[in-house]
Chains A and B, each alone.
Chain A
Amino acid sequence: MSGQNRNLREEIKEKLNNNIMQTALSRFADQYPEARRKAYANVDDIEVLRDDLRDMKRKTVDNIEQIANEFESSVKSRGGQVYRATDGDDLKQHLLQICRENNVHRIVKSKSMATEEIHLNKYLQQHDLHVRETDLGEWMLSVAGQSPSHMVMPAIHLDRKQCAEFFTQALNEEIPSDIPFMIQTARRVLREEFLQADMGISGANFGIAENGAIGLVTNEGNARIVTTLPRIHVVIMGYEKLIPKIEDASKILRLLPRNGTCQRMTSYMTMIDGPTPVIYKKGEEWIEEDRKLYIILLDNGRLKAAHDPKLKEVYQCVRCASCLNVCPIWTLVGGHVYGHIYSGGIGAILTGLLNSMDDFSKFSDLCIGCRKCESICPGKIPIPDLIDELRSRAIQEKGLRLPEKAVFQNVLSNRKVFHTLLRIASVAQKPVQSGNFIRHLPLFFAGMTKDRSLPALAAEPFRDRTTRLFKKNPKAPVIRAAFFSGCNLDFVFPDTSESVVKVLQNLGVEVIFPEGQNCCGKPVLGMGDRATGCKIAKKNIEVFEAAKVDVIISACPTCTETLHKTYVELFQNDPAWLARAQAMAAKVREFTSFVADEYKKAGRLVPTKKKALRTITYHDSCHMKRGLGIFEQPRALINATTGYKFTEMKNCDKCCGMAGAFGIKYSDISLPLLEEKISNIKNTGADTVAVACPACMMQLRGGLDQQAPNIQVKHIADILAENLPH
């Protein structure tokens, strides 16, 4: 699947049309959050457990060589053997040698992602060894010649009929699609494999340096049999599985089963420390001896990652795959689209580190940065940030594609050119515009307007309205604020910007609009072009320093996050600009949270008692909720507003599918996300949807315009402004 000639768009289309997979994944995505919540119901504080795991793993990676040495000497002192393989080829050759030395012919395997990573089975089969996967899902897939689409549920993309076909094919007998029958058949067939095997190969969920034990977590029990019946046991594990102490295993075990399979513990948790007895029949006689134990530590890029200040965070991964379970994109396209072995967000990162950056680049932009994964990851890995980091490195190495380079470096980084082009576009779009939406675009943009209208650029951008608006600034202001509009609120939704100004002025705030402000830089940074991003950031910092204000207000969560967090990260190695970026970041406030604070101080943040005429629901923007942690304030503001009855929608914080440029580049994926969002909105019966993000507003208005034109989408600023005296 990692071939050079992949047509990702075609693959995605095929997956979106695969009804069996779509049904399976959407049902799972629906059930997972509640099942996970139940598994954690008897835990006092999940965050404490997550912090413990992260901290333990961080400490380990910082001393990885020392821990690996300790692990190796613990295993050796107990009579096991340890081999450190630099890569897949090295590992395969060494393993083959072990097989030859021990006269091995038949091998049973329990799940080991590391062996998938290096395509071990194929190699062993080429060398005339009989190899059987024994995890039911892995076994079915190996029969079918497929690879796992999920680390924990490898065959989730299949239904029982397809499974029965694989059974039939493998066993050469007709197997009906009856699940219990299939399970019993697998038990019978694989039991023979276990009993005849000379060697068992397992992975490891952890390896303990203190005593040299490895730990395995399974439900079927195949790992327990693989490590019990054959007279030789080979463990193949990555360095990231090492932990210092026996007690550290509990830090993994309290989270991994709960996040991975929504269980408090899997059926079997097995720890093996050194060679253990095995009894088998040699000739006519039963004998007992110590099983030979070989542990192979696989590097394959891991040790380099361990010394990388950013990427070492992948060591915090325990392979629970819950990042996939909550990923809106994985839920639509499944795991195979991600090409290599590890799928989803963490898969993109692991592929880049362990396979190749070329493979990473092919699908790295399938991450929309919604941060759902980060919010539940047991090891608290900032997955979207690591993807950004890798993207930016890929760009540094290979450069941008030409059209993007031209746009980023010549247009976006130069405000005057960019804004001139936007103004020209606002006139040029006239022939296709209808009302406030572009309903028909030239043919090559057709995918963008299917089931969704795109907004027209406003005839009069916000920056041309400021003179008129700022005449109403308070005479004796309590606060002086600069408004950072961002591109959308300046050129697409200037009316919302007017609402922002009105609400702030009503609070006694003097609002100014520094004319030299440019795009926040997110589109450029999101594509990995840090050089242009820095250029844009410096310009904005200069402009806002000169404005001499108390606060900088943005009504776009993405811009807020970029100004508040990203600029500071950009200048980590540039002390002078770092100080300036920090000074700016300290002043940046997201609009709704600022207003909610001010309303509270003024006693205005109280639920209204007046009769509601309209029903309203609220859509959480990804960047707002998980990037900035703001989700209570917008709701409090709505509840304090006259005329609306608030109601929550299902999956209120699931991405609407816009996600910056993603929605346009991958419109095939963006649209199903939008459709789900719209159906959740419709099901509330609300006639208004509140948002606090202009990008979400663009996506939802576009979708509702075509599919439910009676439902209005309003920015919180517009809702608040309506309530103020004219």
Chain B
Amino acid sequence: MKKVCQNWATEAFDDNLVNGSYWEAFEQNAKNASAEIIHAEDLSSAQAAIADLIVTLKAKSIIATGDEASPELASVYKGIETMGTPIYTNKFAIAEHAPTADLGISTAEFCVGETGSVCVDAYSYEARVVGMLPPTHIIILNKNHTVKNVTTAFQVISRVFKRGYMGFITGPSRTADIERVLSLGVHGPSRFFIIAVDKMENRRVQ
């Protein structure tokens, strides 16, 4: 899958800027932005959390990315599929099913404490539609990858952003265009879940 950076942890991060210390600020700000946060010890508990959500959301069709870069994640998706819900991970299959899928799953590179934003590398087409077209979006991320604020986030980004498509997602899609009443899910997802994994295989070697 095309990415702005194939390995953010080794090419863009350093311990001074990216570590776990801004998690609490991130969590608070993300919740304020209507993100729903689920904690997971590791990817197998993440899989259990996703399975629960599929049941709650009555999801019939799933599109997902991030499996190419992570064999562990690929096996999570396989595990979900064996439970009976189709999960499309091939880019053409994603494109085809994006307009009708109930759930999109993708990954994020790091979290921004100051704003509750997750930084997503969405160079590939499929990474973008997964997060935009279905009514629910789940982001899986490593909770040890947090930066303090937008300034430090851009220090990190500027190291690797040579071309492509990337940015921040901060909660679900929203509008206040009618009477300034907050409404979720106008064009993008109305629900935005973050599964925060403590032990994730691509964690930087300390």
Contact = CB atoms under 8 A, between A and B. Distances in A.
Interface in A144-199: 153-156, 158-160, 163, 179-180, 182-184, 186-187, 190-191, 194-195
B203 to A, nearest CB: 25
A688 to B, nearest CB: 37
Contact of B187 (A221, A247, A279, A286): A221
B33 A190 contact: no
A228 B104 CA distance: 16
B128 A228 contact: yes
Interface in B150-171: 150-151, 153-155, 157-158, 161-171
Nearest to B154: A250
A78 interface: yes
Interface stretch (B41-49, B72-80, B173-181): B173-181
A155 B179 CA distance: 8
A279 B132 contact: no
A143 B178 CA distance: 15
A183 B183 contact: yes
B103 to A, nearest CB: 16
Most chain A beta-carbon neighbours within 10 Å: one of B112, B124, B132, B187: B187
Interface string B77-93: 00000000000000110
Nearest to B167: A270
B119 to A, nearest CB: 9
A246 B161 contact: yes
Contact of A163 (B129, B168, B178): B178
Given A42-B114, A265-B33, A247 B185 contact: no
Most chain A beta-carbon neighbours within 10 Å: one of B114, B124, B154: B154
Interface residues of A, number: 71
A42 B174 CA distance: 23
Nearest to B32: A264
Contacts of B132: 221, 224-225, 228
B29 interface: yes
B158 A286 contact: no
A270 B129 CA distance: 14
Nearest to B93: A286
Contacts of A28: 180
A227 B125 CA distance: 10
A136 B163 contact: no
Contacts of B188: 220-221, 224-225, 267-268
A254 B165 contact: no
Contacts of B33: 263-265, 267
Nearest to A137: B177
A280 interface: yes
B108 to A, nearest CB: 13
Contacts of A279: 91-92, 95, 125-126
A129 interface: no
Contacts of A684: none
B14 interface: no
B66 interface: no
Contact of A273 (B154, B164, B171, B173): B164
Most chain B beta-carbon neighbours within 10 Å: one of A220, A221, A247: A221
Given A24-B179, A155-B178, A288-B91, A276 B164 contact: yes
A267 B174 contact: yes
B187 A190 contact: yes
A229 B10 CA distance: 31
A265 B187 contact: no
A180 B91 CA distance: 33
A18 to B, nearest CB: 15
Nearest to A270: B167
B37 interface: no
A254 B174 contact: no
B161 A273 contact: yes
Contacts of A245: 158
Contacts of B124: 277
Contacts of A153: 176-177, 180
Given A250-B151, A288-B91, A183 B168 contact: no
B149 interface: yes
Interface string A628-640: 0000000000000
B151 A277 contact: no
B120 to A, nearest CB: 9
A78 B163 contact: yes
Interface string A226-270: 011100000000000000011101100110000001011111111
A213 interface: yes
A182 B178 contact: yes
A340 B166 CA distance: 34
Contacts of A135: 177
Contacts of A227: 165
A273 B162 contact: yes
Contacts of B116: 264-265
B69 interface: no
B91 A270 contact: no
Most chain B beta-carbon neighbours within 10 Å: one of A27, A153, A269: A269
B99 interface: yes
A270 B75 CA distance: 30
A140 B177 CA distance: 9
B96 interface: yes
A274 interface: yes
A267 B170 CA distance: 4
Contacts of B38: none
Interface in B118-140: 123-126, 128-129, 132-133
A687 to B, nearest CB: 37
A268 B154 CA distance: 16
Contact of A268 (B112, B129, B169): B169
B170 A266 contact: yes
Given A246-B154, A264-B115, A276 B170 contact: no
A278 interface: yes
Nearest to A194: B187
Nearest to B169: A268
A73 to B, nearest CB: 14
A209 to B, nearest CB: 13
B124 to A, nearest CB: 6
A271 B177 contact: no
A276 B162 CA distance: 12
B95 A246 contact: no
A211 B166 CA distance: 13
Given A136-B178, A264-B115, A273-B165, A278 B154 contact: no
Interface in B177-203: 177-181, 183, 185-188
Contacts of A184: 185
A272 interface: yes
Contacts of A228: 125, 128-129, 132
Contacts of B178: 136-137, 155, 158, 160, 163, 179, 182-183
A185 B185 CA distance: 11
B65 interface: no
A191 B179 contact: no
A637 B132 CA distance: 59
Contacts of A154: 177
A227 B128 CA distance: 10
Interface of A: 24, 27-28, 42, 78, 134-137, 140, 153-156, 158-160, 163, 179-180, 182-184, 186-187, 190-191, 194-195, 210-213, 215, 219-222, 224-225, 227-229, 245-247, 249-250, 253-254, 261, 263-274, 276-281, 286, 288
26 contacts: A24-B180, A134-B187, A154-B177, A179-B179, A220-B175, A221-B132, A222-B186, A222-B187, A225-B187, A228-B132, A229-B129, A253-B150, A254-B149, A261-B176, A263-B170, A264-B170, A265-B115, A265-B168, A268-B167, A268-B170, A269-B167, A270-B167, A281-B95, A286-B95, A286-B96, A288-B91
Given A187-B187, A247-B154, 9 more contacts: A28-B180, A136-B177, A222-B186, A228-B132, A250-B151, A265-B116, A265-B168, A277-B2, A281-B96
The 3 closest A-B pairs by CB, nearest first: A221-B188, A137-B177, A265-B115
